[in-house]
Structure 1
Amino acid sequence: MIFSSWEYLLFFAIMLILLSTIKIHALKKAVLLIGSYYFYSVWDYRFVLLVLVMTLINHVSAVSIDRSTVEAVRKRWLIFSVIANLTILGFFKYFNFFIDSANGLLDQFGMTFPLLSIVLPVGISFITFEVMSYTIDVYKRDIKPSSIWDFSLLIVFFPHLIAGPILKPRHFLPQMARDIVIKRSNLIEGGQIFIFGLVKKIIIADHMAMFVDPVFASPGEYSPLTVWLAVIAYAVQIYCDFSGYSDMAIGSAKCMGIDIPRNFNMPYLSRSVTEFWRRWHISLSSWLREYLYFSLGGNRKGAIRANINLILVMLLGGLWHGASWNFVLWGLLHGLALVIHKLYFNHVLKKREINHWLYRTAAWALTFVFVCVTWVFFRSQSFEHSWLVLRKMFLIDTGGLMWFYPYLGFVLVLVLAGHMVGVRLKTYPSVNLTTFGGLFILFFVLFALLLLMPTASTPFIYFQF
């Protein structure tokens, strides 16, 4: 049940009707919780039990941490919960990855370990980070343990359940104490945010996949220019796909009067890798900074240790994205780029601020090209496949078919215009539905969605994480 499907729209409409009809707050939360578990069960009902187990482990741990006055006991409960969460994530997501890597070394000795047939639970990476942040926040005494029902809603609240944004307990849980009221103003605002995300997914991301997938499947058959265009198209695809999902999640929650923080802020306008990670997947980058980078010591133990911590965080962030050495290399490259920019900022920009338009343009271009090149490792299935793409991009291997995808030009103009509007608005675009102009724009967008909808919608990219 993906957000861009009629099944989801029907499910969501039923949820809104039930929440607007029921008057008792506790019963509303019960309906929301049951509906969220149903939403997850549609993907694979077998893993509902896994989510329940993770919820119970972390609820018991949080309550035990809060009740104890002995620091050693509190720490033991925290360690237990963290190990339990990472063990579950590690088994489902990384068991075969590490076994396969070990087999590569042991094969020369005639020894191998069998791989298991493991189905990856949808959204397991996001769920793991959220339950860990809950017990860590309770341990740090930033929050008090909530009821198991509110904590369950933090984990399985259906708009963000499958692919985030990653919710912080101290932001979400207080909202559960307020009554869930379906207001007309929230429906209008949330509905428009949802449609905005739907446009990104259907009109942009799904159409970019029609160009990206064939070129990345056989990069050796295409010319260097075509491969470059496909890499740029993928940069647009993954941004519009993931930010579109986040927008639809935020819009769905807003319709119910629940706020989910924005997850993207026009990242391709960034003029440094540091700025890129402040704008891209904000909920993940803030989680890594708050719960991992600071836990490793941050910059409190000197510059060298801070740089090592930064690289370690990005390595683990890359591995979080998937069980592949390509993701590890992608994280390493971003970690090294963050360190280089940090050194440049501390030793150059702090002493002499450069604000010339030519410098700003060059900084933007360098950042964008770096991000696009590293997306090659994110998109490719192996080092060998990444190398084939890079050979084409940097003219080591020339020749091949020239394919100009006309829709890419339309999309680039559309994305550029959207960024120009976004810079001015600094928020989601909206129209006044009480005016003829506003209604005309709304119906025009809906008509465009129906007209340009591909015959087969591609799955959201981040569902595999």
Structure 2
Amino acid sequence: MLFNSIDFAVFLPIVFILYWFATQRNLKYQNFLVVVASYVFYGWWDWRFLFLIIFSTIVDFLIGIKLANTDNPIKRKGLLWTSMLVNLGFLGFFKYYNFFLDNFVTAFSFFGKEIHASSLEIVLPVGISFYTFQTMSYTIDVYRKKLEPTKDFIAFSAFVSFFPQLVAGPIERATNLLPQFYEKRIFDYHKAVDGMRQILWGLFKKIVIADNCAEFVNLIFDNPDSYSGSTLLLGAFFFAFQIYGDFSGYSDIAIGTSRLFGFHLMRNFNFPYFSRDIAEFWRRWHISLSTWFRDYLYVPLGGSRGGTSMKVRNTFIIFVVSGFWHGANWTFIVWGLLNAIYFLPLLLTDNNRNNLEIVAKGKLLPNFHELLMILLTFCLTLVAWVFFRADNVSHAFQYLSGMFSISLFSIPDFPGMMKAFLTLIFIAFLILIEWNGREWQFGIAHLGQNWKRPLRYTLYYAIIFVIIWFGGAEQEFIYFQF
């Protein structure tokens, strides 16, 4: 079920009414309704995938209880590895089986040995990378004794399958989300209004920005030889805003929907395209995944506590694994390596913790140096996005070769130029609104909150009008494939 579909527009009010009017007096009923609604939401794609999420839920629930009942370090490690093998085993089979098989066959062909192996027609379960990491965080935190294991199976099931963020995050920690299922929720009008604002802005980013950009991205990336360097640059620019509008739009809708039901989810995007270096970008982009890898992979590997060689090694590991998490394709691994290379100079000069505050804080505009650094960081990110979007590595290099040709200085020309110009206007509007709200504590949930009432509602109705009249063709969210 897509957030930007009629199905969800019907589903959400029904669940909302049942949640606040039929189950409000009983916490267990509220949690049970969340589980049922989440399974309906997830099963809308393919009901067979429900068996995976239910099995993963049962395994980690039981392992959590067993971890609490033993202090034997060998047994505890065995239980932890059981959880890891089950969850990563499912993820590895559905997401990476054919990738490893194809590369295994290719590797042997270099030595003159032909291996005949058949790939499997495996359908990737929607959101498996997200809920797998979410339930793994529970087991790891219980193992580390940072969290008491729950004995409430319904609450735990609701935590694992919570429908607003089930499919594409944010990847919530058990320490944040699970305790919220222990407390009775009371309807908060102001929190619900904030949620509606965030949903509205998320729909704008998805339907108007991402879906319109997708039309030109698909056209240009599918035929890179047919267009000038300037057109290819514009195609990469459109993809940068397609993926931002698509993924941060999903996060906004997820966080806003959660607010309607009395839940607080972590912030997943913090205006990343206003970053002044790559380190700052990664503190502001897909925050839930970046911090997950930091706490559960980077720090256990030694983090930045060792010498220079250890810091460099851990940095490359974290970025490569992050790239591989995104998909079973060498393009994602190269994308991760490229970001590691971008990050390396900052790490070696101990400048990776600069720019911890939002740019131009308390000012209307950035100074010249800040603006230059923002543009440089965006350009580096844009080049990396080409690998993320390309079908394969050779396609990415072909695209970049054409983009950096002499025709880079020509005027872009491709079908649909007028619509593309209108899309650029909407992107400029997005940048303007988010720049204006970059210092808001809860981000875009405060959209227009401090404006005078007539101006505020003019903004809301204008956004609704633009969504209805200028929305692109319905597209699935990009991160559903991850």
- The within-5 A match list for 1:45-444 is 45-107=47-109, 108-146=112-150, 147-345=152-350, 357-395=367-405, 402-403=413-414, 404=417, 405-426=420-441, 427-428=443-444, 429-431=446-448, 435-444=453-462
- Counterpart CA distance in 2 for 1:375 and 1:12 is 34
**Structure 2 contact 228–412 (Cα < 8 Å) conserved:** yes
Amino acid at match of 2:413: M
**Structure 1 contact 106–112 (Cα < 8 Å) conserved:** no
Amino acid at match of 1:54: S
Cα distance change on mapping 1:369 and 1:435 into 2, 3 Å: closer
Shift of 1:411: 2.8
Shift of 1:126: 0.5
Deviation by residue 1:251-297 (Cα, 9 ceiling, x = unmatched):
00001110011100110111111000000000000001000101111
**Structure 1 contact 78–136 (Cα < 8 Å) conserved:** yes
**Structure 2 contact 164–258 (Cα < 8 Å) conserved:** yes
Deviation by residue 1:68-124 (Cα, 9 ceiling, x = unmatched):
011111111111111221111100000000001112123442212211111100000
Shift of 1:402: 2.1
Percent of residue pairs identical = 36
**Structure 1 contact 307–339 (Cα < 8 Å) conserved:** yes
- Counterpart CA distance in 2 for 1:349 and 1:123 is 34
Cα distance change on mapping 1:348 and 1:409 into 2, 3 Å: closer
Shift of 1:185: 2.2
- The within-5 A match list for 1:425-464 is 425-426=440-441, 427-428=443-444, 429-431=446-448, 435-454=453-472, 456-464=473-481
Structure with the bigger RCO (C-alpha within 8 Å, sep 6+) is 2
Cα distance change on mapping 1:424 and 1:52 into 2, 3 Å: closer
| Structure 2 unaligned spans of 5+ | 361-365
TM-score for both structures, normalised by structure 2: 0.91
**Structure 2 contact 172–288 (Cα < 8 Å) conserved:** yes
- When the two chains are superposed, the root-mean-square deviation of aligned CA atoms in Å is 2.2
Shift of 1:159: 0.1
Q: What's 2:363 paired with?
A: none
Shift of 1:346: 5.2
> After the TM superposition, which of the residue ranges 172-181 and 137-146 deviates more from structure 2?
172-181
Q: What's 1:24 paired with?
A: 26
Amino acid at match of 1:252: T
- Counterpart CA distance in 1 for 2:460 and 2:322 is 39
Deviation by residue 1:1-48 (Cα, 9 ceiling, x = unmatched):
111112102111011100111221111111111110111100110010
Q: What's 2:12 paired with?
A: 12
> After the TM superposition, which of the residue ranges 308-317 and 431-440 deviates more from structure 2?
431-440
| Structure 1 unaligned spans of 5+ | none
Cα distance change on mapping 1:447 and 1:361 into 2, 3 Å: closer
Equivalent residues, number: 460
- Counterpart CA distance in 1 for 2:61 and 2:337 is 34
